[in-house]
Structure 1
Amino acid sequence: MTQPAYLRIADDLRQQIVDGRLGPGDRVPSRHQLARDHGVSDRVAVEAVRLLVSEGYVESRSGSGTYVRQRPTVRRLTRSWYREARGRADSPFRADMETQGRAGTWRSSSETSTATPAVAERLGVAEGDPVMRTQYTFLADEQPVMLSTSWEPLALTRGTPVMLPESGPYAGAGVVARMRAIEQTVTLASEVVTARAILADEADVLGEPMGSIVMVIQRTYSGDHPVETADIIVPVDRYELAYVIPVD
């Protein structure tokens, strides 16, 4: 099946950006030049450039042209089984920011909700069972860098000091430490990593262009049964994941 012309042009420009032949700040050929080079109409060339704008590869400047977008510095997030095993009270995000010399903080809001089919399966509860749903915006040096939504079964936490993850005597502690406070021992952290296009509300909070790709880390903490599950949203142009796994 033959690709539409605008997709072929966009792919050629995208490859030049990925290869470094077009670097950050470089001007992309005008629509007239693209049309001449590829033997297409100006309208087709415009569609190709619009696609790259939506994907975050280039940006248009009024009265000037289109330029390769300056990409953020890619930083590392460490998913460490050693760190989880130590059960430090601090959050993994704050620990990662410390290693980068940045101040890691977050904003959060919690509300009671009910388990969707997907959340129910991950928590080992029934669909519709009550859960505490907490949404996080994580900040590095006061700038939003990633998002997360977590769910905890209220059958486990209701009426305890840890029912609200960010309030009370254990506010801000990691899941392992919080669950230990109600005699729940976490022995396993499992993660499934997928990728998808960013959603509009995520793009607005993170300052990412529509069309950007985000990683989704589906993390679940378990002991005798799951105690928390979360979707962590990470822009791929800002972070890479590094897994540290013990070998016996």
Structure 2
Amino acid sequence: MTEPQYVAIAGSLARAIRTGELRPGARLPSYADIAERHGVSDIVIRRAIKLLISQGLVRTIERRGTFVTARPDLTRVAPERQLESPETTFGNESGSDVVIERDTARLAATAELAEALEIAVGATVSHVVTRASEDGRAVSISDSYQPAGISGVDGAAFLEETIADRLPTPAHAAWLGTPAGDLVKTVHQRFLGGDDRVIMVSDISYPQDRYDAFVFRMPIGPA
């Protein structure tokens, strides 16, 4: 999916806030100034600021302007995050050194995978493991599965997410360094086409204290 302009601008401002370039209490430039800087309309900037507000990064005071919040907690937003690469997402969250590792393999669908992807048992499935770390600290790991012949989520019309605090799988626990018996924040995703065909399923784990809140918007599709 092509990243909408408002998402890119919000990401740029979010990075400035995370890195301290825009400090708590700082007043953002006016909508007109930001729009001129990026060569877009005020409407695009309003959508970008609305996204930052939903993430808890800024607040608007009537007749005074928009200000960086005193304590900008991390908030995971979907589906906007699905339009970004992990490099962009985690890079926007902080000024840390972000490293993304990916392992890709093809395997035969187990009964569980076949049911999740609505395909035949034994059918070929693409499996991608994505690991993210910041300054050497593991912050995310995911397993994504797609039927053969499908790549990415460009054809997705809907995203379903289930959030829970769960015991991680052994592989996820090992990457995150989770002590035995401790829970992690998990996100189970299903990307569906307009015909409700399953395009991809993913299971993502984060440290339980990684995000302050989760905000959702459905469905997804071209902006």
Question: Which whole-Å CA distance do the structure 1 matches of 2:98 and 2:185 have between them?
Answer: 20
Aligned pair count?
146
Which residue of structure 1 lines up, in the alignment, with residue 163 of structure 2?
193
Measured against aligned partners, the alpha-carbon deviations of 1:20-66 in whole angstroms (never above 9, x if no partner) come to xxxxxxxxxxxxxxxxxxxxxxxxxxxxxxxxxxxxxxxxxxxxxxx
Deviation at 1:230, TM superposition (A): 0.8
Matched residue of 1:239: which SS? coil
Opposite residue 238 of structure 1, the aligned amino acid is R
Structure 1 residue matching 2:74: 3-state secondary structure: strand
Matches within 5 A, 1:8-27: none
Q: Which residue of 1 aligns with 2:125?
A: 131
Alpha-carbon distance in structure 2 between the residues aligned to 1:149 and 1:229: 8
Q: Tell me the CA shift for residue 148 of structure 1.
A: 0.6
Q: Please state how far the C-alpha of 1:237 moved relative to its aligned partner.
A: 2.9
Counterpart secondary structure, 2:121: coil
TM-score by length of structure 1 reads 0.51
- In structure 2, the partner of 1:101 is 95
Give the superposition deviation at 1:116. Answer: 2.3
Q: Of residues 190, 206, 209 in structure 2, which corresponds to 1:237? A: 209
CA distance in 2 between partners of 1:125 and 1:188 (Å): 19
Deviation (angstroms), 1:144: 1.3
Q: 1:116 aligns with which of 110, 118, 134?
A: 110
Note if contact 1:94-1:103 (Cα within 8 Å) is conserved in structure 2.
Answer: no
Shift in Å, 1:113:
0.7
- Shift of the alpha carbon at 1:243? 1.1
Mapping 1:171-210, distance limit 5 Å:
175-176=152-153, 179=154, 185-210=155-180
Q: 2 CA distance for matches of 1:242 and 1:99? A: 14
**What are the ranges of 5 or more consecutive residues in structure 2 without an aligned counterpart?**
1-71
Aligned-partner residue type, residue 101 of structure 2: R
- Structure 1 108/75 Cα, relative in aligned 2: closer, same or farther at 3 Å? farther
2:46 is the counterpart of 1:76:
no
| 2: CA distance, partners of 1:244 / 1:111 | 30
Q: Is the 8 A contact 2:86 2:132 kept in 1?
A: no
Q: How far apart in 2 are the matches of 1:212 and 1:113?
A: 30
* Cα offsets for 1:206-231 (capped at 9, x unmatched): 22221210122111111131111111
Alignment RMSD, CA only?
A: 2.8
% identical aligned pairs:
23
In structure 2, relative to structure 1, the CA distance for the partners of 1:245 and 1:201 (3 Å cut) is closer
Match of 1:150 among 144, 147, 151: 144
Aligned partner of residue 175 in structure 2, secondary structure: helix
In 1, the alpha carbon distance for the partners of 2:90 and 2:206 equals 14
| Cα distance change on mapping 1:118 and 1:77 into 2, 3 Å | farther
Q: Deviations over 1:75-98 (max 9, x none)?
A: 6242323x26xx74x325632441
TM-score normalised per structure 2: 0.56
Q: Give 1:240 deviation, angstroms.
A: 3.7
Change (3 A) 1:95 1:198: closer
1:157-187 Cα offsets, whole Å, 9 max, x none, are 3xxxx5xxxxxxxxxxxx33xx3xxxxx211
Following superposition, the deviation at residue 101 of structure 1 comes to 3.2
Compute the displacement of 1:151 (Å): 0.5
